[in-house]
Amino acid sequence: MNRSNNKNCMLSQQVYLDNHNQTYKNIIVINLPPDGPLGQRVRRIQTPVLSTFQALYESKRCALALVGDNNCLLEDRDIPDLFSFLLSNGYTINTSLTKMMNGSEIRFSDNKMLCFITYVGP
């Protein structure tokens, strides 16, 4: 695959209300369906509203969440394992783009941006 055809995807943390356990978690989400093996670890989930105030202004939302081998949502504590997976499966972490966007006043959402990644293949 030509490197110029590869898309950059943004990984970020999103606060998620786990209704089953009645706890808040910081899950890992991605903005686009990724190329490569990471695509097998993405699930579209509905994200419950976090507060009554939020419910007044937003309808049901969904996110592309990352899951692990056990099909559980990846959380912030799973970031080291996620980065190991990415680096050993043909992804690059675009540190210059990540630094530029972290230094910018532009915000894509309320989520905390982790990094931009690109699949370049094995």
pLDDT band at residue 2, thresholds of 50, 70 and 90?
very low
Q: Is the pLDDT of residue 50 over 80?
A: no
| pTM score, whole prediction | 0.81
Element (H, E) at 67: none
Q: What digits encode the pLDDT tens for the residues 70-119?
A: 999 999 999 999 999 999 999 999 988 888 877 777 766 678 889 999 99
| Count of the separate structural domains present in the chain | 1
DSSP annotation of 11 = E
Q: What digits encode the pLDDT tens for the residues 52-65?
A: 555 445 555 789 99
What is the rounded radius of gyration, in angstroms, for the C-alpha atoms of the chain? 15
The one-letter amino acid at 10: M
Could you list the beta-strand ranges (E) of the chain: 8-18, 23-30, 42-47, 61-66, 91-93, 112-119
Task: Centre a 10 Å sphere on the Cβ of residue 19 and count the other Cβ atoms it contains.
Answer: 8
Residue numbers of the domain that contains 38? 3-119
